[in-house]
Amino acid sequence: MYKFTDRRGAIPRLLFATRVAFDEIIQRYAIAGTIAVREKFVRGAAAAGNESEKTMANKSLAKGPSDTCVLVTGGAGFIGSHTCVELLNRGYRVVVLDDLSNSSEVALDRVRTITGIDDDRLAFYEASILDREALDRVFTENDIDAIIHFAGFKAVGESVQKPLEYYWNNVAGTLVLCEAARDHGCKNLVFSSSATVYGEPEFIPITEDCPKHDATNPYGQTKSMLEQVLTDLYVGDNEWNVVLLRYFNPIGAHESGLIGEDPKGIPNNLLPYVAQVAVGKLACVGVFGDDYPTSDGTGVRDYIHVVDLARGHVAALDWMGGKVGTGAANTLGTIAGEPADDGTRRGVGIFNLGTGTGSSVLDVVHAFERACGKELPYEVKPRRAGDIAENYAACDKARDELGWIAEYDLDRMCADSWRWQSQNPNGYSTAAPIA
């Protein structure tokens, strides 16, 4: 369970920080003698207060990875840490901002081990996206070109109990982040959305133009609301270059077994629960319903390997930089803006990231049995409230536009997940130093 009042008091600081006049900030930096920084803040102040924000050019992505610096919010988390690996492997410079409310800095140490990168190509700031001052520091100290925005709370059940915390962290946090980004002239953003925005899908496989439906919980609402907010940003200022990635069910782990999903407490999602049964931490998998209209009666989902998902983010950056994509599939839910002179895209691109294959709960249990080499006890329980029978993605648009396709199958996802779980039965909390 996370604690809302984090140890650094993000919310009170936000309330304070958003009220600090820009002049005051400018003065503080001017006193420190940092004229360049001061000029940046003057530009930011102008952008925040008047029309000049609309004419402030966005950062160009029409350049190579080694010249491109990506801010990864939530980069110490499950999907974020795997995305850092893929970005670094491709040669990007990476700045992680994470408040560690649901993660450990050990994950970033391990990202360094996996990539062999132990220098300033990977920087870390322990701070919240709600903290405007910290964001200004990050943008001032680093020439951020694009943002991949993972930071947020993600537990569906908890969001029903703590709606205020979820709306604050996910929605208000994203507003603060976008405002800071805009004020520093960075309007390239990839957002972690979710298949949850489709609700009970009107058709399967789900394409990007499948109508969205009201979410049944505050977590899902935050994703839908933020998709709208980010779309409106572009409508109001055509410099924005936004990609909304709707993830299906990310599972698996890096093949090294060094990074993976490390849920706090008893897992809510299927795969980490099965993994903890396999490692002996939990007794028995509860199968939530076997009377759905599916092949074996259990719920069907589109599980995607987290490394494939991470690579989808790198592909999204290529697309935003105009390096891939024909524009032919742009109609599916996407607002395609006129590209910039250098070919960099503008608009709002929407992509499903899944495999296009549905697997049932029992398919997952059996695949995990093959991975860990033993039978796993399971027991059928009543359906879980809010669950749908089946969903899986149509991935044609991501294939045609991003040039991206998921490579790994369910057996590989479970094998990698088992390696992570068996090598780190208690996640990062008892992590031994890496030799």
Name the residue whose CB lies closest to ligand NAD: 77
79 binds ligand UD1 (CB under 6 A): no
Comparing CB distances to ligand UD1, the nearer of 145 and 165 is 165
CB 299 within 8 A of CB 395: no
140: left (phi over 0), alpha (psi -120 to 50) or beta: alpha
Residues found in the chain: 435
Site for ligand NAD in 228-287 (CB under 6 A): 247, 249-250
277 binds ligand UD1 (CB under 6 A): no
CB 263 within 8 A of CB 429: no
CB 121 within 8 A of CB 94: yes
Q: Least separation, in Å, of the C-beta of 115 and ligand NAD? A: 18
Comparing CB distances to ligand NAD, the nearer of 25 and 197 is 197
Q: Which residues contact 42 (CB under 8 A, 6 or more apart)?
A: 26
Tokens for 197? 């925005």
Q: Least separation, in Å, of the C-beta of 165 and ligand UD1? A: 17
98 binds ligand NAD (CB under 6 A): yes
227 binds ligand NAD (CB under 6 A): no
Site for ligand NAD in 49-78 (CB under 6 A): 73-74, 76-78
88, 129, 317, 361: residue in contact with ligand UD1 (rule CB under 6 A):
361
Three-class SS of residue 19?
A: coil
Q: Which of 219, 234, 378, 408 is catalytic?
A: 219
Which of the stretches 51-59, 125-133, 276-284, 332-340 binds ligand NAD when contact is defined by CB under 6 A? Answer: 125-133
Which of the stretches 158-166, 267-275, 328-336, 408-416 binds ligand UD1 when contact is defined by CB under 6 A? Answer: 267-275
CA atoms within 13 Å, Cβ hemisphere of 368: 30
Tokens for 146? 């694009």
Element (H, E) at 242: strand 241-247
Q: Which does 130 bind (CB under 5 to 8 A by kind): ligand UD1, ligand NAD, none?
A: ligand NAD
Comparing CB distances to ligand NAD, the nearer of 53 and 98 is 98
CA distance 357 to 204: 11
Comparing CB distances to ligand UD1, the nearer of 124 and 273 is 273
Comparing CB distances to ligand NAD, the nearer of 301 and 346 is 301
- Closest-CA residue to 128 (of 87, 93, 94, 170): 170
100, 146, 287, 300: residue in contact with ligand NAD (rule CB under 6 A):
100
Site for ligand UD1 in 233-252 (CB under 6 A): 249
Q: Which does 224 bind (CB under 5 to 8 A by kind): ligand UD1, ligand NAD, none?
A: none
247 among known catalytic residues: no
CA distance 354 to 392: 7
384, 407, 426, 434: residue in contact with ligand UD1 (rule CB under 6 A):
384
108: left (phi over 0), alpha (psi -120 to 50) or beta: alpha
CA distance 359 to 26: 55
What are the strands, taking DSSP E only, across 279-392? 285-288, 300-301, 303-305, 335-336, 347-353, 359-360, 378-381
Q: Which does 103 bind (CB under 5 to 8 A by kind): ligand UD1, ligand NAD, none?
A: ligand NAD
CA distance 427 to 424: 5
Which runs of consecutive H residues, i.e. helices, occur in 72-125? 78-89, 106-115
Site for ligand NAD in 75-94 (CB under 6 A): 76-80
Q: Which does 386 bind (CB under 5 to 8 A by kind): ligand NAD, ligand UD1, none?
A: ligand UD1
Contacting positions for ligand NAD (CB under 6 A): 73-74, 76-80, 97-103, 128-130, 150-154, 169, 173, 192, 194, 247, 249-250
